[in-house]
Chains A and B, each alone.
Chain A
Amino acid sequence: MSASFRAVQWNRDKIVYDAVALLLIGAYVFGFMLAMRAGAPAGKAPAWADLRISAFGTCAFLLISIILSIGPLARLSPKFLPLLYNRRHLGVMAFIVAAIHGYSVLDWFVIRGSVPWIWNEITNVKDYAKFIGFPMKAIGLFCLIVFFVMAATSHDYWQKFLSPGAWKAIHMAIYGAYGLLVMHVALGLMQRDYSPVIPVALAIVAGTVALVHLLAAFKERSGDAPGDMTGDGWITVGAPQQIRDKHARIVCAPGGERIAVFRDGPIFGAVTNACAHQNGPLGEGRIIDGCITCPWHGWQYRIEDGCSPPPFKEKLATYRLRLRDGAIEVDPHPLPPGTPAALQLK
């Protein structure tokens, strides 16, 4: 094995994050069930078993929508960064809520002794050729399997074992699963319940998720423009005082990779903009306790050489810097990870 397993490192922030998330999930599920019972016409109150399916189903859909929105929202505004910090735990909770929804559906059929109906629905090949009438339970089951894979591989062990790039690529399956989840609702609940509430709510929630992603992608695209090149192939970053102390300026190398040039008082250091943990945007972080700190999960690296402080062993590629004609310039060719390359100005 190329990676060793370490149990989740708990701290106060993670405990508070999880406690608040669990409380909100519990309040939503019970609030939903009680509100639906109370709002039903006299004598037509839905059964608790039906309500449980709806409550956990809508809760899972909302949770996954929120989880998918946190990333782009954090790119659009740093105010959302605290939500990103422990997003993986929220993802595992979303899988558990979705699994309870699936179990509740199964239980509904078990109570009626009609489990074969589910099997018939999923295995009726003819229905897969239909649009309206497509086996929506099969879509839901497929989404649940994808969510399980996401949750099961969410631990840092899998990320190290698979490498951050491969791990990220696998976890991008959540996008496709979300699209299928929308269709699971559109071909299921939306067809059974003719009220306008379902399509309107579905369009608002899914539309918002898509909108924030497209807005963040549009904003990101502007950062892909190559920086101003000098005659000898270096990139002009700007005057030293233009880089805010304890912060960075991000420039784009000709190949499209981004470089974060940090300033810590008189010391300037350039590292790759991609964190070794999850490729988080280091340049949007800041210097804390003398270390470059990733805005996503707080991983730290020394400005001098891009190495994580002991006992951690992560290393970032660094870049050579120089001061010429009153401007900081960076060589776009990366040095081997961990190579000292900081520039100290007097």
Chain B
Amino acid sequence: MKRPHRAAHRIAWIVLTVLVAIGFTLALVQRKPQKKSAQSSFLHASYPPVTSEEQVR
């Protein structure tokens, strides 16, 4: 790699690591025990799980 790419690469990974670490930590601490969304509840209640036979369409 040439110098500008080396520098951009270095900075990109430092910034990316910090941002993703913050995002991941926030997502982890705000995680709550499983609670189905309205969409999920509707879809799973309205339709039974798809079996392998149903997939052969």
Contact = CB atoms under 8 A, between A and B. Distances in A.
Interface string B11-37: 011101101100110111011111000
Interface of A: 46-50, 108, 111-112, 114, 117, 121, 131-132, 165, 168-169, 172, 175-176, 178-179, 182-183, 186-187, 190-194, 199, 202-203, 206, 210, 213-214, 217, 220-221, 224, 255-257, 274, 279, 281
Contact of A132 (B14, B19, B30): B30
B13 A217 contact: yes
Contacts of B8: 169, 172
A121 B20 contact: no
A206 B22 CA distance: 13
Contact of A182 (B24, B39, B46): B24
A217 B9 contact: yes
Nearest to B57: A111
Interface of B: 1-3, 5-6, 8-10, 12-14, 16-17, 19-20, 23-24, 26-28, 30-34, 39-40, 43, 46-47, 49-52, 54-55
A132 B1 contact: no
B51 to A, nearest CB: 7
The secondary-structure label for the interface of chain A is: helix
B3 A191 contact: no
Contacts of B50: 47-50, 108, 111
Nearest to B2: A274
Contacts of A191: 27, 31-32
A276 to B, nearest CB: 12
B51 A47 contact: yes
23 contacts: A46-B49, A47-B50, A108-B50, A111-B50, A111-B54, A168-B1, A168-B5, A169-B5, A179-B16, A179-B23, A182-B24, A183-B20, A183-B23, A191-B31, A192-B34, A199-B28, A206-B20, A210-B13, A217-B13, A217-B14, A255-B3, A274-B1, A279-B2
B20 A210 contact: yes
Given A165-B2, A179-B16, A191-B27, 16 more contacts: A49-B49, A111-B50, A131-B30, A172-B12, A178-B16, A179-B20, A179-B23, A182-B23, A186-B28, A194-B32, A194-B34, A199-B28, A199-B31, A210-B16, A255-B3, A257-B2
B12 A221 contact: no
A256 B51 CA distance: 61
A48 to B, nearest CB: 5
